[in-house]
Amino acid sequence: MTSVSEIVGQWLGLCRKAPTLRTAPVVLMEVPVTANPAQSDSGGASGGPGRIRRGIGIATGSIKTLFREKHLLWFSLFAGLAILFLFVAEGWSVTHYNFLPLPYSIWIPFGDSNLALFNMQLFLIEAICLSCFTCVLASLILYRNAGSRRKPVTIRNAFDRVNAHAGTLAVLSITMAILATVLFEIISQSQFIGKIIFTIDMALFNLPYAYYVPNGISAMYYFSFKIMAINILLFLLALYVVPGIVLEKKSLLPALAGSITLIKKTWRELLGCILVFGAIILVVAAVGLVIGQSPLLLNHDYDFFLQISRGQVLMTIACYGFLFACGVLMAMGSTVLGIAITRLYACGTPTASGITETMQPVPAPE
């Protein structure tokens, strides 16, 4: 029979013999492996609302990340320079439509008239602009993906690593430039789409901007409005293609196929992101509508509004400030989308699960 002193000695760890229940900690360590809470809403119809909430969290978290990690604003600066180039080059193209020693447009016969099919100057502008956007997006994705590594990567290193994928990214940019040029010609010559664009322009950008913005600048952003809308659409499509190119080293066609598969896997998270970013766009559009329709909101006709408002500093700041704010939001928005797509890519690609939210190096295991 075991004495009381032996029992007390074993309980206090005084006995030299190893305890017989040493396997208990092993059983406890297996519990986190068998129950992974991150996969509770990752699949199936029942996980739909949870995955949409995850997408909302990705969108809001991407916005917070941009303001928390100020160095990411460098990517916004580069994107802003590309946007500025697009507006200036588009304005120059409108006023100097034959500045290239190339045919301005390629025409095809259509009935009794000719139909413009391809604008060479616009294609050149789009090729440069979209190449810049693609390069910045690829660098941002590589920079964010480097957060899973033990050695941090600088922004300059991220841009240097894009050189390994320059050929495929160039093909993607040229393809998008061709699509943008053709779509621009189709939209410009479509009466139905033209009426929609004219209505939006009259509601948001006609009054009172016409009283404060010179005609050259007005024509610049009017024509840039259409091409920028096309570029945003193509940029959104490229968001799922670029990660496959720079992270999985795929060529263009496999990256396109992989992006379709990735969209199918993460469409619920993508819907959550659309809800957040769409709400921001609606708020910006509402502000623009208030400024553009200020004469009517003040119950003034156009002539009276012109007489009492011309030269008013506040109204001038409102007009130019809104246009400048839209450009800043587009530049920052491209960075936010790049951060979000890196997170979405990690959600849809198991091999990319190491992508982290911060750029801190991962400590070595003890």
Statement: residue 360 has pLDDT above 70: no
In a domain, 297, yes or no: yes
State the CB neighbour count (10 A cutoff) for residue 213. 18
pLDDT digits (tens, 9 = 90+) for 183-210: 888 887 778 887 887 787 777 766 566 5
pLDDT for 46 equals 43
Matching residue, tokens 């208990």: 24
List all residues 6 or more positions away from 295 whose beta carbon is below 8 Å from its beta carbon.
207, 208, 301, 302, 305
pLDDT digits (tens, 9 = 90+) for 247-286: 888 999 999 998 888 888 888 999 999 999 999 999 998 9
Token pair for 233:
């659409």
- Helices 313-348 and 48-68 cross at an angle (nearest 10°) of 120
Q: For residues 63 and 76, is the Cβ–Cβ distance under 8 A?
A: no
| Residue of 245, 282, 263 whose CA lies nearest to 55 | 263
pLDDT for 358 equals 39
C-alpha pair distances (Å), 250 with each of 12, 153, 243, 257: 61, 22, 9, 10
pLDDT digits (tens, 9 = 90+) for 137-146: 999 999 988 7
pLDDT confidence bin for 13, thresholds 50/70/90: very low
Amino acid at 288: G
In a domain, 217, yes or no: yes
Residue 358 per-residue DSSP state: S
Residues of the chain with pLDDT > 90, as a percent, come to: 29
Q: How far apart are CA 108 and CA 180, in angstroms?
A: 18
Three-class DSSP category at 105: strand
In a domain, 261, yes or no: yes
pLDDT confidence bin for 98, thresholds 50/70/90: low
pLDDT for 331 equals 93
pLDDT for 105 equals 60
Q: How far apart are CA 175 and CA 192, in angstroms?
A: 26
pLDDT confidence bin for 304, thresholds 50/70/90: low
Q: How far apart are CA 186 and CA 43, in angstroms?
A: 41
Number of structural domains found in the chain: 1
Three-class DSSP category at 331: helix
Whole-number mean pLDDT of the chain?
75
Max CA distance (Å), the chain: 113
Token pair for 161:
């690593």
pLDDT digits (tens, 9 = 90+) for 336-356: 999 999 888 888 776 544 444
pLDDT confidence bin for 309, thresholds 50/70/90: low
List all residues 6 or more positions away from 60 whose beta carbon is below 8 Å from its beta carbon.
276
In a domain, 33, yes or no: no
In a domain, 311, yes or no: yes
In a domain, 8, yes or no: no
Phi, psi at 113, each rounded to 5°: -135, -175
Q: How far apart are CA 319 and CA 241, in angstroms?
A: 37
In a domain, 145, yes or no: yes
Per the structure, the complete domain to which residue 128 belongs is given by 48-348
Residue 351 per-residue DSSP state: G
| Residue of 317, 91, 94 whose CA lies nearest to 212 | 317
In a domain, 7, yes or no: no
